Amino acid sequence: MKIVVTGGLGFIGSHTVVELQNEGFEVVAIDNLSNSSESVLDGIERITGKKPIFEKMDLRDKTSVQNFFKKHNDVAGVIHFAASKAVGESVENPLLYYENNINALVYVLQELKELSNPNFIFSSSCTVYGQAEIMPITEDASVQPAASPYGNTKQIGEEIITDVAKVTNINSILLRYFNPIGSHPSAEIGELPLGIPQNLVPFITQTAIGMREKLSVYGDDYPTPDGTAVRDYIHVVDLAKAHVVALKRLLSKQNLDKVETFNLGTGTGSSVLEVITAFEKVSGQKLNYQIVGRREGDITSAYANTDKANNVLGWKAQSTLEDSLASAWKWEQKIRS
């Protein structure tokens, strides 16, 4: 069964390609290589024994999208990762984000609705909840006004899919990720941030390996037990597996609605200082860090209520924070050696 993975060479996309191939799916990966490298295909092959079919393509080019789906009109589902995801960059260049994250989505849906198996999985984010009032966050929590163009593209994307579902045969699952971290345990694929990492874990591993002098901890005056902000860090392999479970749900027509939404997290919140302590434990490295002021736009706390994912989707994160950090560290050491 043929599955299209857009952004298939990216961080979450590549891990999902591995899990799909492990389950026997035939994968066609699309990527424009704007934030990834073709060598990821070799890593996938070393893990699974097979390279996915790869189409280097930019989904902002409508004609290419049309031609792609003419060629691959036998696909059974699309998992759509391809998007830009840097909050600060989206504030500086909103049109890039609207073009990349919205136009591309529209073009894919336009072609998908013509297929006989229009199953669609969308990469959304817990960013849609903003600072939720009640922790842990359930899927019923209200969507808050987006704090950035990036966050807005996830909200608009969810709305577009919901509108389209009303008038087409497309069945969709919206997956709202908490904070994906880590790498495949083989260290054959992992996160490859361009330039200075904005996210916590790649900044930690790059500091520990000596590429960055020290980590800035953004704020210790939050109303949390140790004063640093709390997030739900989920191992990327667990996250990837959730996509396969969601896809199978659509393929076997077990979905209860044309559009279903699931939170993907572990259900456990960890503070920045807890992440640092856990990293030091698994790596045996002392991390150089300094407390600085809060980062603009950051929220105090976000962690998932996982009941719906556990009970309805039938998926549960298996890895601990320490497992995730150990895999991130193994990957960092491998790529710098």
**CA 90, CA 310: separation in Å to the nearest integer?**
33
Only one of the segments 18-26, 72-80, 90-98, 215-223 lies at the binding site for ligand UD1 (rule: CB under 6 A); that segment is 215-223
Pick from 25, 203, 279, 315 the residue near ligand UD1 by CB under 6 A: 203
The residue whose two tokens read 């083989």 is 186
DSSP run (H or E) holding 282 = helix 272-283
Q: Which of residues 124-153 bind ligand UD1 (CB under 6 A)?
A: 125, 127, 151
**CA 10, CA 86: separation in Å to the nearest integer?**
14
- Exactly one of 97, 107, 150, 233 is catalytic; which is it? 150
Judged by beta carbon, residue 23 or residue 298, the one nearer ligand UD1 is: 298
Amino acid at 233: Y
Q: How many CB atoms lie within 10 A of CB 21?
A: 20
97 given a catalytic annotation:
no
**CA 141, CA 137: separation in Å to the nearest integer?**
6
**CA 337, CA 320: separation in Å to the nearest integer?**
26
CB of 299 to ligand UD1, least distance (A): 7
Pick from 179, 183, 205, 268 the residue near ligand UD1 by CB under 6 A: 179
CB of 85 to ligand UD1, least distance (A): 5
Q: Which of residues 66-105 bind ligand UD1 (CB under 6 A)?
A: 85, 87
Q: Does 276 bind ligand UD1 (CB under 6 A)?
A: no
Q: What does each C-alpha distance from 174 to 84, 117, 179, 241, 257 come to in angstroms?
A: 17, 17, 16, 15, 12
Question: Pairing mode, if any, of strands 215-218 and 289-292?
Answer: parallel
CB of 266 to ligand UD1, least distance (A): 14
By CB under 6 A, the count of residues binding ligand UD1 is: 20
Q: Which residues are catalytic?
A: 150
Positions in the binding site for ligand UD1 (CB under 6 A)? 85, 87, 125, 127, 151, 179, 198-200, 203, 215-218, 229, 231, 272, 295, 297-298
